[in-house]
A and B are shown apart, each in its own frame.
Chain A
Amino acid sequence: MSDKVLLKGGRVVDPSLGIDSTLDVLLAEGVVASLSSDIDAPEGARVVDCAGLVVTPGLIDVHVHLREPGEEHKETIATGAAAAAAGGFTAVCAMPNTDPPIDDPAAVGFVRAAGRAAGQARVHPVGCISVGRAGLRLALVGEMVDAGAVAITDDGNPVMNSGLMRLALEYTQAFGIPVADHPEDLGVSALGHMNEGIVSARLGLAGKPNASEDIHIVRDLLLAELTGGHIHLQHVSTRFGVDAIRQAKARGVRVTAEATPHHLVLTHEAVEGYRTDAKMNPPLRTRDDVEAVRAGVSDGTLDTIATDHAPHHYDEKEAAFADAPNGIVGLETALGVVMTRVVGEGVIDLPTMVERMSCQPARAFNLPGGTLAEGGAADVTVFDPGATWTVDPAAFLSKSRNTPFAGWELTGAPRMTIVEGRVVWSA
């Protein structure tokens, strides 16, 4: 492994620098050493011909479930980090809903150490908002931040107690980290297994109405406005939710928000036939909601694209719909799905995709990377925007195969993933 990498002649797309042009990028000693046209290869540098390829600041996924500790049959930190690298991601934020949950500094340290040992994409630990994810009292936020936590969330569960959410939004301000929330009022939705609507009515499945998500989006926005804290709303899936966030941003509320690739391209019709690989929470919603999520990603209301990578073992998903767990894997399909069905359909352009999948996630979670500025971390993604491939879950590096995109033909494929100047994955 060379300590110098020269990426020659690629289309360098970095909205953080306002760059979209053919340039060379030299990485040395873990940082971006220079960025200009026609760099001569230094002694001993690995030279990579990037003609026809796109070179961007490394993609960052702020929402993944790596299942370790506790559910290593679904995924481990090492396999998840490898899957991330194979998907073109140089960093991921690991959700704390493990068993035991990541709610103290020792557990945060474990995740960080296991991520480093894996030597693939960076693994940034996210800690719990509440002790044991029980929703009762604040976890050791400051000590977890010292140990490496980049945010807190009780993801998987919403924070049902609005008073606790208020405290979290106040207390985190001392540490400069966002509070990420899975917005859902369980009183309205807890029995549901999919979006509430005509498909749930026909299939005879209990539904989760949009209102269950919207109630908590609005609550979180009000509390962020009240406290001045930074709320990060996860996997927004409803039209009303997008509109509420847009209005809040216009008022100056400190809110950042995610869209997932699946909520950008799939509707609740994908559940037809009781397909458990289309079961996730929040559920796939209507075409109207998908259009709103796409508009939100387009205008920046939803500033981040994150996968909510949620691996499950095949025999857990091979069950009656109501008995199957929520979630789908996303790390190894995200770039292709977004390139093909979001960029390819003109919802956003390629620089905006890089903004949503790299620059903004780094900014929102205060992470290294997200820019090719000289002196910054040498986290770089190289991908082929024209390569066509077919999604074959059997080829995933993730331990799990639960994807609704199996068999999809996608255009846009990762070619090389570089973390701190080290090539961790290449096609």
Chain B
Amino acid sequence: MNEPSPHALGKDLIGLEGLSREQILTILDTAEPFKEISERRIKKVPVLRGKTIVNLFFEASTRTRISFEFAEKRLSADTVNISSSGSSVTKGETLVDTARNLEAMRIDMVVIRHAASGAARFLAERIPSNVINAGDGWHEHPTQGLLDLLTIRDHKGRIEGLKVCIVGDILHSRVARSNIYGLRALGAEVAICGPRTLLPPAPEELGCRVFTHIEEAMEWADVLNVLRLQLERMEAGYVPSLREYNRVWGVSNRRLDAAPRDILILHPGPMNRGVEIDSAVADGPRSVILNQVTNGVAVRMAVLYLLAGGQPEKAEAAKQGGDS
């Protein structure tokens, strides 16, 4: 405990950028024993008994908030949900005061979702509690990246050497950034594919190949991680229409059938069926979209456990109810 091990995470989980291969594998390996808890009749272990956790959601989210809440409750933490919204500036001002108020209430952990890139780090620098980033602007969504890694590993048996292409709106996507950093740390090759209006500047410097055409991406990839195309991107003119987007970049069985390999399909949800992904793909044998959701709870349990000071090698014992 005194010697910081190369596996230790530190106080916060702000992003996967800068995490080592060992740190990421520690989280994934710790998630493995926690998967089983959710399959039990009584889905609760006393690992975080007495810990108080605030789920601070400045931006609407259903799936991520619920996933965190299940993870917290299955580890017996006391949780409070705070949802807030407002103008960008209001949020910025609120953030400083929110940080001070949380500090004053002696919270153990904060899970934060915020529309501004950097918001999680901003909070983490100002409070002694553990901070977990549940998505900040376009920056990172590290637990989503981790659950994607776990799901790919479950189905492919490895990450190293795999070719993973992220498809869609990469520019505005925190999921894309966390995937890029996590996949590269574990030795995967990463590509991005989408209209140039929705790709980030300097993709090569991010370590990504770029495919303009979805067919080329499918020719290359073992795994596609298909991102949601938000309606407001069309309204802002990044793509002329959703129908056209589907025609040019949509993931369909017709296209997948022409690919040389059996491609694994991920999607962080919520899906726009018939836009970035056809229903036949989402509901078909290549899709592991619901496995991602299941793994999300286990990964979040692992992150909560590790940040609370739990030791990875004791996770198996901890879930038996002995150690907290």
| Minimum C-beta distance from B273 to chain A (A) | 27
A321 and B117 within 8 A (CB): yes
Contact with A along B27-55 (1 / 0, CB 8 A): 00000000000000000000000000000
Decide yes or no whether B200 CB sits under 8 A from chain A. Answer: yes
Residues of B within 8 A of A206 (CB): 138
Interface centre among B88, B93, B118, B202 (most CB of A within 10 A): B118
B116 touches A273 (CB 8 A): no
Chain A residues in 8 Å Cβ range of B177: 202, 204
Taking a contact as CB atoms under 8 Å apart, the answer to whether B201 and A196 are in contact is yes
A273 contacts which chain B residues (CB < 8 A)?
121
A323 to B93, CA, bound (A): 9
**B174 on the interface (CB 8 Å rule)?**
yes
Check A202–B93 contact: CB distance below 8 A: no
A113 at the interface (CB under 8 A from B): no
| B200: A residues at CB distance < 8 A | 201
- How far, in angstroms, from A322 to B95 measured CA to CA in the complex? 13
- Whether B139 lies near A320 (C-beta < 8 A) is no
| Contact of B205 with A274 in the complex, beta carbons under 8 Å | no
Least CB distance, B169 to chain A, in whole angstroms: 12
Question: B92 contacts A319, CB within 8 Å?
Answer: yes
Interface: B258 (CB within 8 A): no
Inter-chain contact B96/A202, CB cutoff 8 Å = no
Chain B residues within 8 Å of chain A by Cβ, number: 28
Nearest chain A CB to B176 CB, angstrom units: 9
Q: Is B92 in contact with A323, judged by CB distance below 8 angstroms?
A: yes
Please pick, from B116, B121, B205, the residue contacting A323 in the complex, using a CB distance under 8 A.
B116
Residue from A198, A204, A205, A318 with most neighbouring chain B CB atoms (10 Å): A204
The reply to whether A203 and B92 contact each other, CB–CB distance below 8 Å, is no
Count CB-based A-B contacts (< 8 Å).
Answer: 77
Q: Is B201 touching A320 in the complex (CB atoms < 8 A)?
A: no
Q: Which of B109-141 contact A (CB under 8 A)?
A: 114, 116-119, 121-122, 136-140
How near does chain A come to B86, taking the closest CB pair, in angstroms? 11
Q: Give A179-223 interface residues, CB cut-off 8 Å to B.
A: 196-198, 200-207, 209
Q: Is A315 an interface residue (CB 8 A)?
A: yes
Q: Are A322 and B206 in contact (CB under 8 A)?
A: no
| A side interface size, CB within 8 A | 22
CB distance from A201 to the nearest CB of B (A): 4
A198 to chain B minimum Cβ distance, whole angstroms, is 4
Within 8 Å of chain A (Cβ to Cβ): is B1?
A: no
Contact with A along B85-119 (1 / 0, CB 8 A): 00011011101100000000000000000101111
- Tell me, yes or no, whether A324 is within 8 Å of chain B by CB: yes
Contact of A322 among B17, B137, B174 (CB under 8 A): B137
Given the complex, which residues of B lie within 8 Å of A320, measured CB to CB?
Answer: 91-92, 95, 114, 116-119, 122, 137
Most buried by B among A319, A321, A324: A319
Q: How far is the CB of A270 from chain B (nearest CB, A)?
A: 14
Does B10 touch A at the CB level, under 8 Å?
Answer: no
Chain A residues in 8 Å Cβ range of B119: 320
CB-defined contacts of A319 to chain B, threshold 8 Å = 89, 92-93, 95-96, 122
Does B17 lie within 8 Å of A204, measured CB to CB? no
Residues of B within 8 A of A318 (CB): 96
Contact A274 B140, CB 8 Å, known A204-B174, A321-B117: no
Q: B138 to A204, Cβ gap below 8 A? A: yes
The residues in A between 301 and 356 inclusive whose CB is less than 8 angstroms from any CB of B are 315, 318-324
For residue B284, CB closer than 8 A to chain A, the reply is: no
Residues of A within 8 A of B201 (CB): 196-198, 200-201, 207, 209
The answer to whether A201 and B203 have CB atoms under 8 Å apart is: yes
B122 CB contact (under 8 Å) in A203, A209, A274, A315 = A274
A274 contacts B118, C-beta separation under 8 Å: yes
From B88, B91, B137, A204 is in contact (CB under 8 Å) with B137
CA gap between A273 and B15 in the complex, in Å = 12
Q: B206 touching A198 by the CB < 8 A rule?
A: yes
Complex contact A197–B174 (CB within 8 A) = no
B88: chain A residues at CB < 8 Å are 322-323
A197 to B88, CA, bound (A): 23
**Cα of A133 to Cα of B261 in the assembled complex, Å:** 60
Chain B positions 164-202 with a Cβ under 8 Å from a chain A Cβ: 174, 177, 200-202
The answer to whether B118 and A203 touch across the interface, beta carbons within 8 angstroms, is: yes
Cβ of B117 and Cβ of A322 under 8 Å apart?
yes
Q: In whole angstroms, how far apart are the Cα atoms of A323 and B92 in the complex?
A: 6
A287 → B minimal CB distance (Å) = 14
Report how far A197 CA is from B93 CA in the complex, Å: 28
Q: How far is the CB of B266 from chain A (nearest CB, A)?
A: 20
What residues of B have a CB within 8 angstroms of the CB of A315 in the complex? 93, 96
Q: How far is the CA of A273 from the CA of B118 in the complex (A)?
A: 8
Q: What distance in Å separates the Cβ of A209 from its nearest Cβ neighbour in chain B?
A: 8
Can you name the residue of chain B whose Cβ is closest to the Cβ of A205?
Answer: B117
Distance A197 CA – B121 CA, assembled complex (angstroms)? 21
Q: Which of B239-259 contact A (CB under 8 A)?
A: none
- Given contacts A202-B206, A204-B136, A207-B201, whether A274 and B117 have CB atoms under 8 Å apart is yes
Q: Which 3 pairs from chain A and chain B are nearest by CB?
A: A323-B92, A204-B139, A320-B116
A-B contact pairs, 11 of them (CB 8 A): A196-B201, A198-B201, A198-B205, A201-B200, A204-B139, A205-B117, A205-B138, A274-B121, A274-B122, A320-B118, A320-B119
Beyond contacts A320-B137, A322-B92, A323-B91: 17 other A-B pairs, Cβ-Cβ < 8 A, are A197-B201, A198-B201, A198-B206, A201-B201, A201-B202, A205-B137, A209-B201, A273-B121, A274-B122, A315-B93, A319-B95, A320-B95, A320-B119, A322-B118, A323-B88, A323-B116, A324-B92
Query: B: which residues have CB within 8 A of A?
Result: 17, 88-89, 91-93, 95-96, 114, 116-119, 121-122, 136-140, 174, 177, 200-203, 205-206
